[in-house]
Structure 1
Amino acid sequence: MSGFIRFLQTLDYMRIVLGICILVDGYPLIFFFRETLKLAPGSTAFTAAALAGGLVLMVPFTLFRRLYRPNVTMFWMGVGFILLSIFYMYVYMGDPGFKDYTKDMIYYAYVFIFLFLLINIPNDIARVFIPVVILFTLVSNLGLVYSLATNPTWVIGQRATITLGDSDDGSGNPHAFARNAFMGVVACVIWALRPQTGLLFRLISLFSGVLSLAILILTQTRSGILALLIALAFFMFYNVRPAQVRMAVRGIFRPIPIITIILGIVGIVIFFQRFSDTYGILYSYVLAFAERNLENIYALLGLKAKGVAYKATLDASAANRSVSANFLSNVLVGHIYMLILGFGYKYLYLDIPIVEALTNLGVLGFVLFAGVNGMTFYHVQKIMRTNPNPMSTFLAYFYMLIFVMLFTNGRPYEIAFWFPLALMIRFMGVEHLFPAYLSDHPPVKESEQFVVVPNAQSA
């Protein structure tokens, strides 16, 4: 009977985590149902309803009866920033043509409800969190693959995304799919490396992880790829010791590893000879990605590319950030006093969220927004060093994408920031409050400690 009750409890926790996934990473599936399956093309009401459905799935049976402690300092900083944004929206509007009061208030309400529900959710969801994320990202990736395969306007070389509305030029939001892919890679690596993971789920993790990595590359999002490289660097720094590197190098020069490497190289060569189109596709993606980034570097340095007659130019996103940097420079030189209160809510879209928090919401907005992210980064380093449990480890590495986005794309008020940050507020810095059975390194019980008994003969 106890086993059946635990099974039902596990299903309940999986329901809650599914709701969290819809809020944090639901756009790929929403776009799939909305645009690919044509349930509600271009409908923002469908998106809002789907997110509301995620909130409903998150409601625990212990709602209002049991609250769990978040990171209190981060909590008040986050709530303070959102309240400040709402205050500025009604009192100090920077955009005179702004009309989306209702839309923004709905999304702010979603953030508050999400954060409140997280405080009601038990820490025990940690034991099912990673498997649900892996399955959710896998389904989302397969939905994207189906959409690309059935879209006659999509061709190899375009960014992997689902076309929005009636546009036939491949327009969409590749960053949403890059986030899903990034989450998939992180979750799959954590679960595949975990000793307790069974063989079947390990194989599913490997398959899903490889697919997520391929999708991340196909989206051609610099922020996603950069975040993955940073996450990999932190993983190597905290988990790989020099002695392990030396042991691995010595192990390579043994007969079986050498034979395996040779067979692997031969297999790769044969594969690309048999499927030459695959090599061409990979080569074109790498070349296009390199050219696009080199073009931005040339433009920033004022150099020429593709011949003497062609002057390199920045792409749209890089050009916008360059303009934003110039705007901040001009403000610091001639109008620095304006940064005390800022220029007003959504005064200027800078595409650098951490800077926009300062220029639009002033010093207080910057302190609150930067404070939440600074404290999160501090706890991330501790978690990466100790790996207390799979869920906390996942959130730590997932934050690398949010960290990169602080300097590369988006606005500080967007739910793309605040849904993940709400997760960090709820679970970062409170790992010591989790039950011991959720930890990968549970503390030794007093009864399990060794006691040295003096030798009776020596007494």
Structure 2
Amino acid sequence: MRKFLYFLQTLDYMRMVLGICILLDGYPLIFFFRDELRLAPGSTMFTAVALAMGLVLMVPFTVLRRLYRPNITMFWMGISFLLFCIAYMYLFNPYPQVTDFTKDMIYFAYVIIFLFLLINIPNDIIRVFVPVVILFTLVSNLALVYALLTNPNWVIGMRATIVLGEGDEASGNPHAFSRNAFMSIIACAIWMVRPQTNFLIRLFCFFSGVFSLAILILTQTRSSVVALIIAIVFFLSFNVRPAQIRTMVKGLLKPIPIITICLGIIGLMFFFRKYYDAYAILYGYVVAFIERNMENVYAILGMKAKGADYKAVLDGSAANRSVSATFLNNVLVGHQYKLILGYGYKYLYLDIPVVEALTNQGILGFILFGGLNAIAVYHSVRVMRTNPNPLNTFLAYFYTLLMVQLFTNGRPYEISFWFPLAMMIRFMGVEHLFPAYLSDRPHLLNEEQYQVVANGQPTR
């Protein structure tokens, strides 16, 4: 009976995590059902209802009866910035005639409700969080592959995304799918290297992670690739020591590892020969990605590319950030006083969220938004070093994507920033308050915060 109740409780935690996943990473599946299966093409209402379903799934049975302490500093900074944005929207709005007040208020309300529900959700979701993320992102990746295979207009070389709209107005959002792939890679890596994970699940995580990496390459999004490189560097810095490298090298120089490596290389050669098209596709995407980014480097330096007669030019997103940098420079040179209060709500789309918080919301907006993210960076690096539990470790590495996007794309008001930031507010910096049985390294818990009593249960 006890095992059955434990199983039901696990299902309940998985329900809550599924709701969190819909809010954090629901757009790939929303686009699939809404636009690919044409249940409600282009419908904003469909998106709002889908996100609301995620909020409903998050509601615990103990709602309003048991609250959990978030990171108080981050909580008040986040709430203050959201309220500050709402005040600017109504009181300091340079474009009131074009602002969709209802839509913006709904999204702000979703963020606040999401944060409120997170404070009600028990810490025990930690033990099921990463597996649910792995399954959720895998389904989203499979939905994208299905959409690409059934789209007659998609050809090799195009960015992998689900087409939104029709005709000349058709477009896509590859960033949503690259974010999903990035989350999958991080979650699979965390669960694969975890000592408690059995061999079959590790094998599943490995292949799911490789599949997600291929999706990430197909989306051709710079921010996700840069974030993945940063995440790998952090992981190697905090988890691989010189002594471990020396031990590994000595182990590889033995006969059996050498034979295994040789057989693996031979196997890869036969695989690429048999499935050369797949290899050529991924290779072409990598080369095109490098060439496109080198083109931006050449353009910034005013250099030539592809021959002496061809002058490199910035692509659209890079050109927009260049214009944004020029605008900020002009403000700093001749209109510094404007930064005290800012230019107003959504005055100018800079494509650099942290800078837009300064120019649009002024010094206070920059302090709140920038300070919140600075604290998130601090806790992320600390968690990467200690790996206290799977959920916090996932959030720490996932935040590298948001850290890159702070300077590359988006706006400081977007829910794509605020749902992950709400997770950071709820779980980061408060690991010492979690029960010891949820920690992968209980010996790292602050002994002043926890004392183990006779029955083995931790108390504060």
Superposed pair shares fold, TM > 0.5: yes
Q: Does 1:241 align with 2:241?
A: yes
Name the CA shift for 1:277/1:159 in 2 (closer, same or farther; >3 Å).
same
Question: What secondary structure, in the 3-state scheme, does the structure 1 residue paired with 2:369 have?
Answer: helix
Following TM superposition, by how much is the alpha carbon of 1:275 offset from its aligned partner in structure 2, in angstroms?
A: 2.2
Deviation string 1:40-87 (CA, Å, 9 cap, x unpaired) is 111111000000000000000001101000000000000000000000
**Which residue identity lines up with residue 366 of structure 1 in the other structure?**
F
Matched, 1:76 2:100: no
Q: After superposition, what is the alpha-carbon deviation per residue over 1:214-233, rounded to whole angstroms, capped at 9, x for unaligned?
A: 11111110000000000000
Matched, 1:106 2:106: yes
Instruction: Identify the range of structure 1 (195-204 vs 351-360) with the bigger mean alpha-carbon deviation.
Output: 195-204
Aligned to 2:448: none
1:440 corresponds to? 440
Deviates more, 1:162-171 or 1:98-107: 162-171
Residue equivalent to 1:457:
none
CA deviations over 1:282-310 (Å, ceiling 9, x no partner): 22111110110010000000011112221
Matched AA of 2:60: P
What secondary structure is seen at the aligned counterpart in 2 of 1:114?
Answer: helix
Say if 1:126 and 1:438, in contact at 8 Å, map to a contact too: yes
Give the match for residue 226 of structure 1.
226
Partner SS, residue 306 of structure 2: coil
Q: Which residue of 2 aligns with 1:297?
A: 297
Mapping of residues 152-167 of structure 1, within 5 Å: 152-167=152-167
| Alpha-carbon distance between aligned partners in 2 of 1:218 and 1:169, rounded to the nearest angstrom | 22
Q: How do 1:75-154 residues align onto structure 2 when only pairs under 5 Å count?
A: 75-95=75-95, 97-154=97-154
- Report the residue type matching 2:225 in the other structure: I
d(CA) in 2 for partners of 1:392 and 1:168? 43
Distance in 2 between the 1:167 and 1:211 partners?
31
State the Cα deviation string for residues 162-217 of structure 1 (Å, max 9, x = none): 00122478721000001100000000011011111123322221121111111111
The one-letter code sitting in structure 1 at the alignment partner of 2:132 is V
1:387 aligns with 2:390: no
- The question of whether the paired residues in 2 share the 8 Å contact of 1:154 and 1:170 is answered with no
**Displacement of 1:447:** 7.2
Checking the alignment, whether the CA contact within 8 Å between 1:60 and 1:120 is kept in structure 2 is yes
Q: Look up the match of 1:350.
A: 350
Q: Aligned partners of 2:168 and 2:34: how far apart in 1? A: 16
Q: Aligned pair in 2 of structure 1 residues 368, 15: CA closer, same or farther (>3 Å)?
A: same
Whether the 8 Å contact between 2:70 and 2:425 is mirrored in structure 1 is yes
Query: 2:16 & 2:96 partners in 1: Cα distance?
Result: 41
Give the Cα–Cα distance (whole angstroms) in 1 for the partners of residues 167 and 3 of structure 2: 52
Paired residues of 1:153 and 1:170 also in contact (CA < 8 A) = no
Q: Specify the alignment match of 1:270 in structure 2.
A: 270
Return the alpha-carbon distance in structure 2 between the equivalents of residues 151 and 170 of structure 1: 13
Q: Counterparts of 2:200 and 2:271 in 1: how far apart (Å)? A: 26
When structure 1 is superposed on structure 2, of 429-438 and 259-268 the one drifting more is 259-268
Please state how far the C-alpha of 1:251 moved relative to its aligned partner: 1.5
The match for 2:253 is: 253
Q: Structure 1: where are the runs of 5+ without partners?
A: 450-459
Matches of 2:381 and 2:190, distance apart in 1: 16
Q: CA deviation at 1:96?
A: 5.1
| 1:153 and 1:169 in contact (8 A); partners too | no
Normalised to the residue count of structure 1, the TM-score between the two structures is 0.95
2:185 is matched by which residue type in structure 1?
V
Most deviating of 439-448 and 253-262: 439-448
3-state SS, counterpart of residue 38 of structure 2: coil
**% identity of equivalent residues:** 71
Q: Distance in 1 between matches of 2:431 and 2:85?
A: 30
Give per-residue Cα distances to partners, 1:232-286, cap 9 Å, x unaligned.
0000111111100111111221111211221122222222222222232122111
Give, in whole Å, the separation in 2 of the partners of 1:437 and 1:279.
45
Residue equivalent to 2:176? 176
Contact kept in structure 1, 2:218 and 2:282, CA below 8 Å: no
Q: Judge conservation of contact 1:161–1:170 (CA < 8 Å) in 2.
A: no
Q: What CA distance in whole angstroms lies between the structure 2 residues aligned with 1:33 and 1:386?
A: 40
CA RMSD of aligned residues (A): 1.5
Q: Residues 394-405 of structure 1 correspond to what in structure 2 (within 5 A)?
A: 394-405=394-405
Corresponding position: 1:24 with 2:41: no
Residues 74 and 375, structure 1, Cα contact 8 Å, conserved in 2? yes
CA distance in 2 between counterparts of 1:374 and 1:401 reads 14
State yes or no: 1:40 paired with 2:36. no
Aligned to 1:452: none
Between the aligned partners of 1:129 and 1:275, the Cα distance in structure 2 is 36
Matching residue's letter, 2:38: K
Unaligned residue ranges in structure 2 (runs of 5+):
444-450
Q: 1:61: which partner in 2?
A: 61
Instruction: Give the partner amino acid of 2:361.
Output: L
Give 1:339 deviation, angstroms: 0.3
Give the match's secondary structure for 1:62.
coil
User: 1:314 and 2:326 equivalent?
Assistant: no
Write the letter of the residue equivalent to 2:397: Y
1:339 aligns with 2:339: yes
Aligned-partner Cα distance in 2 for 1:193–1:168: 46
Residues 1:261 and 1:168: Cα distance change in structure 2 (over 3 Å) = farther
Amino acid across the alignment from 2:147: S
What is the letter of the counterpart of residue 194 of structure 2? R
Which stretch of the first structure deviates more once superposed, 95-104 or 46-55?
95-104
Q: TM-score, normalized by length of structure 2?
A: 0.95
3-state SS of the aligned residue for 1:379? helix
Q: Which amino acid aligns with 1:13?
A: Y
